[in-house]
Structures are given as C-alpha cells and as structure tokens.
Chain A
Amino acid sequence: MFDLVTFIPRAVGQGIPLLFGSTGEILTEKSGNLNLGIPGVMYVGGICGVIGAFFYEQSGSNIPALSIMIPLLCSLVGSLLMGLIFCFLTVSLRANQNVTGLAMTTFGVGVGNFFGGSLIKISGADVPSIALSATSAVFSKKLPFAGKCGWFGEIFLSYGFLAYLAIIIALVAAYIIKHTRVGLHLRAVGEDPATADAAGINVIAYKYFATCIGCMIAGLGGLYYVMDYACGVWSNDAFGDRGWLAIALVIFTIWRPNVSVLASIMFGGLYILYMYIPTGMEHMEIKELYKMLPYVVTLIVLVITSMRNKRENQPPESLGQAYFREAR
C-alpha cells in the first residue's frame, strides 16, 4: 500500500534543496544572468557549512544558537563568494555566462568533494569520518507539536527550520518580483537592460545583487541537504545532480518561486518515487526509469511553453547576454 504519511515528508525533504536552488536561480535569471554554476554553488554552500560546523564541533563547545549560526554564516559567505566570482566575470568583465557557469560548477563540485574527502587529513583531526550529529540535531529539530498531532504533524510540522525558511523565502521572492518596485526594476533589467539603463535603473547593481542573493539562497539548499536530510554526514557526490534539477525547476515553474514551492516537492516526490513503486525483485531496472521522470517532465514543459509561445511564459528576453552600455 502506498503510504502517503511517510512518502510526503520524504518528498519534502528531497524537495527543499531544489526549492532553495530554484528560488535562487529564478532571482538570478530575472536579472538576465543565466547562472549554470548553481550546482557548484550548492556544493560550496553545503561544504562551507560542514567546514564551519566541523571546526565548531571539534572545539568541543555545544551551544545550540552557535551551532546554527556558524554553519549558516559559513555557508552564506561561501556561496556569496561564488556569486561574486560569477558576477565579476560576467557582469564586470562581460564573459560568456554559459562558460563561466560551467567552470563554476566544475570548481564548486571540486571544492565540495575535495574538502569533503580531505578535510580530516588537512585539519589533522582524530575522527574517522565527517559526521556532524550534534549540529545536525539542531538543524533538523522538528516543531514542538509535531509528535502530538498524528498524521498532520508528520506531514506539516516535522521539518527543520530551514525547510520553513525555504518556503518563506520563495513566497517573499515571488511577492518582491511580482508586486514591488524593486521587482519591476529587476524584471526590466532582465528583459531589456538598455531600456532599463535609459530609465535610470542601475543595471550593474541589480545584476550583482540579484545574482549574489540568488547564490546565497541556492547555497542554503546545499546546507539543508547535508545538515538536515543527510543527518550531518557528508559523502562525496551524494548531492548528485540536484543542482541541475533545480535549474530544470526554474523552467518547469516558468520563473515563479511561489509555484516552485509545490513543484519542488513534486519533483522531490518524483525523485524518490522509485522506492515506493513495487516492481518486484525481478525488475529492479524499472526503478532507474522512474528516476528519469523529473527530466522528461521538464523537457516536455520546456517544449510546450515554447510551442504555445505565450509572452508571459517566456524566459527573460536578455537571458544569457552580457550588457555593455556602449554596444549598439
């Protein structure tokens, strides 16, 4: 029997990193920057949090507030640096965004796996593997009533604070993009930077802020994955291709973070659906085909939006193009 009460929390757990990643990428893309470095940024966000937590736990102290703040800050700073690299290269130096993004992914995944694999050796600590159970316990602390509310508590209240933060950030981002002046300017920059510039909007500042904030949000996705979903255990390449899935989500939701809240949980569900479908022992291979679903669905959505060619469903007009004021 398909058990929804256990399935939904796991789908949410899978979906939250995607939600962080896609919200960040939507903000970035709205400013006209196509940041294909998001997978790398998410790795960096995760590993920086791990490094922070690792040294904090090594120091022997254990104050819950600090256990949260140190990894959180480390993660934010790490992904901010990645965002700054991307912005400096693509906005200030007008480099090709696809190439820069892919280089950032190579670099970020490398940083994640390198420090994940060598942190213990470099720091000379006396532990067999990186298992941050104390930090993880704080991060994945459920809401207080979760245990008492039966299935309701299980489905809605059983997550760590970052999960709720993800949903709040997504909703706030959606509101800002759609209903505020800042959002209007941001969209203008993404659609036609030359016009926005002529209207007196500081294009470069908008691009920098949107991309850096986007990267910081995406980095939190990596942090959530390690600290909450993976219970503080870093294993190399465990994060996998979720970064690309987050970019897929951006298209799937047609650049709307509020839709992404449900869509990411749906993608999370699709990602783990194979564990819940009875295939029998003879046909284990079918499970691999289920894992293909999120990508196929995204491809179909991508094609359908381009087929219908509705104006409000299109990517930002200047997506992927560098802006140079003096270019005609």
Chain B
Amino acid sequence: MKTNNKEPLFHVVRRDDMSRKKAWTIRGIALVAALIVCALITTALTGDNPLSVYATIVSGAFGSNRKTWVTFQNLSVLLIISLALTPAFRMKFWNCGGEGQVLIGGLASAATMILLDGKLPNVLVIIIMITSSILAGAIWGLIPALFKAIWNTNETLSTLMMNYIATQLVAFYTVVWENPKGSGKIGIINQNSCVGWLPEIGNKYFLSVLVAIVITVILYIYLYYGKHGYEVCVVGESERTARYVGIKVEKVIIRTMVLSGALCGVAGLLLVGGINHTITTTIAGGQGFTAIMVAWLAKFNPITMIFTSFLIIFLDRGAGEIATVFELNKSFSDIITGIILFFIIGCEFFISYKVVFNSKNAKEERK
C-alpha cells in the first residue's frame, strides 16, 4: 500500500507555558530588530550613519528641558487615551472610536470656554468644562454600546463611523465660532482672560502627567481588584459563561463603554483646556488609533502601557527630529512607528505558538 509520504516541513503548536521573562525577551529581540531595520531605512534615505541616527532620535525626545517635558506631556495624553480604551478591549469590545470620543470631549470643553466666557467665575467654568467634556465623551461611547447591547451591532465599524461624525461636528462648530472671521479656525480661546484654561501645576506640562498617573493607578485597581473589572474580564472571555453566572452582559457592556468614553473625554479636556487652548478637527491627531495599538502591545495591562506608550512617543518625537534635521516630511515618524509595530505584532506569534520541525527521525519512527 502506498503511504502518504508527503510530510510538511514543520507544524505549529500552541503553547501556554512560556514564562513572562522569556516572553519579554522575545519582544525585546523583536524591538531591537525593528530598530535596526529603522536605522537602515533612515540611513538609506538620509545618508547619515546609523549610530548618529539613534543619537538624533534621543536628542529629539530629550534634547532639552522643554523637549523632555513635551515628550512627557505627549506620553501622558497617549497613555490616557490608551487607558481609556483598555476596559473596552478587556471586554473584547473593539472600541476604534477613541478619536471621536476625544474630539467630542474637546469640543464640549471648547464650547464651555467660548459660551461661558465672562458670564460665570473661572472656577465654575472649569467645573462645568470638566463635567461637560466627560459627559460628552461618555455619550459618544454610550451610543455604540447601546447598539451592541441591544442589537449586537458590529462595534468596530459603528465606533469608526462615530469618529467621522464627531470630526464633522467639530468642523461645523469651527465655522460657527471662527475667530477671526474668515480664518477657518478657532484660534486661541479667551487669549486675554484665560477663562477656562486649566490651572498650571509647577509648569504648564505637569498637569497632564499628574492626571495620567492618577488614572493609571485608579484604572489598575478598578480592573484587577474590583468586581467590575472581574465582570469585564468574564464577558470578554465568554459571553455565555457570563450569562450563566448571572452577569448582566448588556449592563456591563454599557457601563464599560461609558467609562471608556468618559476617560477619552478627559483626554479631550486636557488637549483643549490644558494644552492647546483651541480646537481643530485634527487635535486628536490619530492618537485614538495609535492608542489601540499601545493598549494591545501592553496586553491591556495599565502598568505595561506606560512603557508601550513611551516607546511610541519616543520614536515619534525622535523620528520627527530626524525629519526636521534632514528636511524630510514629518510623516517619517509614521513609517518608523509602522515598522516597529509590524515587528512587535509579528513576534507575538513566537510567544503563543511553537514551530516544530518534522525531523527525519520522526518520520522513520513512524514507519
């Protein structure tokens, strides 16, 4: 009888037993490999030698006192957005709407600043700003959550659409509140009175950092030590199990998405009230999407997320510096980020799976 002697060269086995240390070593190797590739590409495009490319990256992120603070401020904003998306992701609810939730939160604070200028004392304006932007973000998270909970609407796509609805709303109000007329933008809001500008702590960058730290700690406790966090995990792992043990899945979905949206609203508040003092349609700058990758790279762990968001911001600022020095387009940082992400995404395979080569011996044994 003719046996099937066509044996594949290798096969893939799932593994669950990899130690944390080994897993992080693999990720580290992937990162180093990615950095080497990035340096080679930069060298090819600029003709600079690879080592000085790294030096430029570091000086872009930490070159001066101001640059360091800006790095930390950007890091905080990205971290807050990533943290905001985390509860939803742990529930396997793909909230791709961070961008829109941040924008709408920012829009709410801009609206408060513009409409209440000179009508209420500054403290009250700020309180209303905080509440309204958190509420606005929460509502933007609530809408897709309701669709998902009631009709099981695909959340990836519905949250994506909500982004552009938010963008157009901002565009609409940009025209309404144009200042000066005909410039097509809102400009710095309340430039003279500073009404609604969030207070500076220490220097003008530290407030975001502080907020980020507070949210990280609270969210960590919420997710790992709270009943809510546990319910989120169960719903994420298996909706049926969750129903079986008596968790109201719909309630958890809605509650988690409201939280997710509200935290995005906080990021919007910081961007408008604390950092830029104006609003544009691009104020979130794609960070709603970057945050998805940051959160995923960190395996949805708030503490790890500090490092992954640092990595992204560091490269972003560094590549921005390379672009400035060599007079290249600033989108260079997107390319670098993309390459690094591809490597890290790819290396996850070697953590969850094992490639087993079918050696000749095994074949002979089978005979």
For the complex, what is the distance from the CA of A123 to the CA of B329, rounded to whole Å? 14
Among B153, B169, B329, B338, the residue within 8 A (CB) of A107 is: B338
Are A89 and B338 also in contact (CB < 8 A) when A118-B328, A244-B160 are? no
List CB contacts (< 8 Å) of A223-257 with chain B.
236, 241, 244, 247-248, 251
Among B13, B162, B172, B329, the residue within 8 A (CB) of A289 is: B172
Contact with B along A285-328 (1 / 0, CB 8 A): 11111011001101100110011010000010000100010110
Among B14, B94, B147, B296, the residue within 8 A (CB) of A303 is: B147
Tell me how far the C-beta of A228 lies from the nearest C-beta in chain B, rounded to whole angstroms.
Answer: 24
Please give, as numbers and ranges, the residues of chain B lying within 8 Å of A96 by CB-CB distance. Answer: 296, 345
Interface centre among B14, B334, B341, B346 (most CB of A within 10 A): B334
The reply to whether B296 and A99 contact each other, CB–CB distance below 8 Å, is: yes
Contact with A along B141-173 (1 / 0, CB 8 A): 000000100011110111011111101110111
User: Quick check: is B256 within 8 A (CB to CB) of the other chain?
Assistant: no
User: Quick check: is B176 within 8 A (CB to CB) of the other chain?
Assistant: yes
User: Quick check: is A102 within 8 A (CB to CB) of the other chain?
Assistant: yes
Closest B residue to A105 using CB positions: B289
Closest B residue to A107 using CB positions: B338
Tell me how far the C-beta of A185 lies from the nearest C-beta in chain B, rounded to whole angstroms.
Answer: 21
The reply to whether B345 and A288 contact each other, CB–CB distance below 8 Å, is: no
Closest B residue to A248 using CB positions: B161
The reply to whether A104 and B338 contact each other, CB–CB distance below 8 Å, is: yes
Residue tally, chain B, CB below 8 Å to A: 55
For the complex, what is the distance from the CA of A98 to the CA of B161, rounded to whole Å? 15
User: Quick check: is B335 within 8 A (CB to CB) of the other chain?
Assistant: yes
Tell me how far the C-beta of A105 lies from the nearest C-beta in chain B, rounded to whole angstroms.
Answer: 7
Please give, as numbers and ranges, the residues of chain B lying within 8 Å of A320 by CB-CB distance. Answer: 156
Are A113 and B334 also in contact (CB < 8 A) when A100-B345, A236-B329, A285-B176 are? yes
List CB contacts (< 8 Å) of B314-367 with chain A.
327-335, 337-339, 341-342, 345-346, 348-349, 352-353
Closest B residue to A104 using CB positions: B338
The reply to whether B345 and A103 contact each other, CB–CB distance below 8 Å, is: yes
For the complex, what is the distance from the CA of A122 to the CA of B174, rounded to whole Å? 37
User: Quick check: is B207 within 8 A (CB to CB) of the other chain?
Assistant: no
Are A114 and B328 also in contact (CB < 8 A) when A105-B289, A106-B289 are? yes
Please give, as numbers and ranges, the residues of chain A lying within 8 Å of B154 by CB-CB distance. Answer: 251, 302, 306, 315
Please give, as numbers and ranges, the residues of chain A lying within 8 Å of B342 by CB-CB distance. Answer: 85, 89, 100, 103, 107
The reply to whether A94 and B353 contact each other, CB–CB distance below 8 Å, is: yes
Closest A residue to B147 using CB positions: A303
Please give, as numbers and ranges, the residues of chain B lying within 8 Å of A299 by CB-CB distance. Answer: 158, 161-162, 165
Please give, as numbers and ranges, the residues of chain B lying within 8 Å of A100 by CB-CB distance. Answer: 342, 345
Among B14, B169, B176, the residue within 8 A (CB) of A324 is: B14
Please give, as numbers and ranges, the residues of chain A lying within 8 Å of B349 by CB-CB distance. Answer: 92-95
List CB contacts (< 8 Å) of A49-103 with chain B.
85, 88-89, 92-96, 98-100, 102-103
Closest B residue to A315 using CB positions: B154
Tell me how far the C-beta of A167 lies from the nearest C-beta in chain B, rounded to whole angstroms.
Answer: 25
Closest B residue to A299 using CB positions: B161
The reply to whether B158 and A327 contact each other, CB–CB distance below 8 Å, is: no
Please give, as numbers and ranges, the residues of chain A lying within 8 Å of B153 by CB-CB distance. Answer: 302-303, 306
The reply to whether A95 and B172 contact each other, CB–CB distance below 8 Å, is: no
The reply to whether B168 and A107 contact each other, CB–CB distance below 8 Å, is: no
For the complex, what is the distance from the CA of A98 to the CA of B174, rounded to whole Å? 31
Please give, as numbers and ranges, the residues of chain B lying within 8 Å of A116 by CB-CB distance. Answer: 329
The reply to whether B329 and A114 contact each other, CB–CB distance below 8 Å, is: yes
User: Quick check: is A218 within 8 A (CB to CB) of the other chain?
Assistant: no
For the complex, what is the distance from the CA of A102 to the CA of B152, rounded to whole Å? 23
The reply to whether A241 and B164 contact each other, CB–CB distance below 8 Å, is: yes
User: Quick check: is B51 within 8 A (CB to CB) of the other chain?
Assistant: no
User: Quick check: is B139 within 8 A (CB to CB) of the other chain?
Assistant: no
User: Quick check: is B53 within 8 A (CB to CB) of the other chain?
Assistant: no
For the complex, what is the distance from the CA of A102 to the CA of B160, rounded to whole Å? 12
The reply to whether A295 and B164 contact each other, CB–CB distance below 8 Å, is: yes
User: Quick check: is B45 within 8 A (CB to CB) of the other chain?
Assistant: yes
Please give, as numbers and ranges, the residues of chain B lying within 8 Å of A248 by CB-CB distance. Answer: 157, 160-161
Closest B residue to A305 using CB positions: B153
Closest B residue to A96 using CB positions: B296
The reply to whether B157 and A247 contact each other, CB–CB distance below 8 Å, is: yes
Tell me how far the C-beta of B186 lies from the nearest C-beta in chain A, rounded to whole angstroms.
Answer: 12
The reply to whether A114 and B293 contact each other, CB–CB distance below 8 Å, is: no
The reply to whether B175 and A288 contact each other, CB–CB distance below 8 Å, is: yes
Please give, as numbers and ranges, the residues of chain B lying within 8 Å of A298 by CB-CB distance. Answer: 157, 161
User: Quick check: is A34 within 8 A (CB to CB) of the other chain?
Assistant: yes
Closest A residue to B295 using CB positions: A99
For the complex, what is the distance from the CA of A100 to the CA of B335, rounded to whole Å? 14
For the complex, what is the distance from the CA of A169 to the CA of B94, rounded to whole Å? 32
Tell me how far the C-beta of B119 lies from the nearest C-beta in chain A, rounded to whole angstroms.
Answer: 23
User: Quick check: is B1 within 8 A (CB to CB) of the other chain?
Assistant: no
User: Quick check: is B201 within 8 A (CB to CB) of the other chain?
Assistant: no
User: Quick check: is B96 within 8 A (CB to CB) of the other chain?
Assistant: yes
User: Quick check: is B290 within 8 A (CB to CB) of the other chain?
Assistant: yes
Please give, as numbers and ranges, the residues of chain B lying within 8 Å of A102 by CB-CB distance. Answer: 96, 289, 292-293
Q: What residues of chain A have their CB less than 8 Å away from a CB belonging to chain B? A: 34, 36, 85, 88-89, 92-96, 98-100, 102-118, 121-122, 236, 241, 244, 247-248, 251, 284-289, 291-292, 295-296, 298-299, 302-303, 306-307, 309, 315, 320, 324, 326-327
18 pairs from A and B in contact (CB 8 Å cutoff): A36-B96, A93-B348, A94-B352, A98-B96, A103-B345, A105-B289, A106-B286, A106-B290, A106-B341, A107-B339, A108-B338, A110-B334, A111-B335, A113-B329, A291-B171, A292-B172, A302-B147, A302-B154
